[in-house]
């Protein structure tokens, strides 16, 4: 039951609520399907080329590598970018994320603030089933100057929509600058998500650091405690 003095947990999306690599791989599958249908290339081979390029020195130029591998014109790369942008991603919310959202929902307002192209991010939100689990989604590049996080405006828009004050809100994200610094500058508590297996991540000034969202509900209660009994304290 949400209390008279409301509180909120607000999440980043990519690499916080789900691993971004899953969207990347979903996009690669859509590109492979398009190449197979349009240019009669082998779908499985195309996926393999894209995946290897993503893991190697050509990361960020996977589409160019794939086009060159099959001897296709570089001019089709822009069309392949659109395939990724417009495809309906195949995504699943990780168990730890779902646990955290469902555990927090009875007592907390929940939001998402995400950078990126709003139409692409909205497809991710839909694919993950987040609209049933959160109260609002702020597409940061639609707010204020449109520069996205770490600008103040997206964070302030989220708390405004949720009807809470910044000192009663906590932001959870993986990016030290966009998420931790951005939310901290408006007065939110911050939780830095650093996944297991990553190299050591230097301290970034977050109020807490976690490796899994499964522990977030307990940490949230410590960082933004319930104030319902404060009026009884002398």
pLDDT, tens digit, for every residue of 66-108? 999 999 999 999 999 999 999 999 999 999 999 999 999 999 9
Task: Say how far apart CA 129 and CA 96 lie, in whole Å.
Answer: 14
Residue 1 located in a structural domain: no
Same domain, 122 and 217: yes
Q: Residue 178 corresponds to which tokens in the numbers above?
A: 């966009």
Last residue of a domain, one of 41, 67, 86: 86
CATH number at residue 130: 3.40.50.1000
Same domain, 111 and 209: yes
Residue 202 located in a structural domain: yes
Same domain, 75 and 97: no
Name which of 7, 12, 6 is nearest 213 in CA terms. Answer: 12
Return the pLDDT at 154.
Answer: 98
Domain extent for 69: 21-86
pLDDT in tens, 112-166: 999 999 999 999 999 999 999 999 999 999 999 999 999 999 999 999 999 999 9
Task: Say how far apart CA 228 and CA 44 lie, in whole Å.
Answer: 58
Same domain, 135 and 173: yes
Q: What are phi and psi of 193, to 5 degrees?
A: -95, 120
Residue 41 located in a structural domain: yes
Count of CB atoms within 10 A of residue 196's CB? 6
Angle between helices 43-55 and 20-39 (to 10 degrees): 140
Residues 215-222: contacts with CB within 8 Å, 24+ apart? 216/9, 216/100, 216/104, 216/172, 216/191, 217/100, 217/103, 217/104, 219/191, 220/9, 220/104, 220/108, 220/170, 220/191
Place of tokens 């039951």: 1
pLDDT in tens, 5-31: 899 999 999 999 999 999 999 999 999
Residues 106, 185, 212, 220: what is their CA dihedral angle, to the nearest 10 degrees?
-30
Last residue of a domain, one of 31, 64, 86: 86
Residue 160 located in a structural domain: yes
């Amino acid at each position: 039951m949400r209390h008279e003095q409301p509180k909120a947990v607000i999440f980043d999306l990519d690499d916080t609520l789900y691993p971004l690599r899953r969207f990347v791989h979903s996009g690669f599958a859509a590109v492979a399907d398009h190449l197979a249908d349009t240019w009669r290339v082998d779908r499985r081979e195309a996926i393999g080329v894209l995946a290897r390029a993503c893991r190697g020195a050509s990361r960020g130029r996977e589409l160019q590598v794939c086009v060159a591998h099959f001897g296709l014109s570089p001019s089709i790369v822009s069309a392949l970018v659109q395939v990724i942008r417009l495809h309906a991603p195949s995504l699943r919310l990780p168990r730890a994320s779902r646990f955290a959202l469902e555990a927090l929902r009875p007592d907390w307002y929940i939001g998402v603030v995400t950078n990126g192209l709003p139409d692409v991010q909205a497809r991710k939100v839909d694919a993950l089933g987040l609209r049933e689990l959160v109260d609002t989604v702020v597409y940061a590049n639609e707010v204020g100057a449109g520069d996205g996080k770490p600008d103040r405006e997206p964070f302030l828009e989220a708390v405004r929509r949720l009807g809470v004050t910044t000192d009663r809100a906590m932001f959870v994200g993986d990016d030290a600058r966009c998420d931790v610094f951005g939310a901290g500058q408006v007065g939110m508590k911050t939780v830095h998500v650093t996944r297991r297996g990553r190299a050591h991540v230097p301290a970034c000034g977050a109020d807490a650091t976690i490796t899994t969202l499964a522990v977030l509900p307990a940490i949230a209660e410590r960082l933004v405690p319930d104030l319902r009994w404060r009026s009884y304290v002398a």
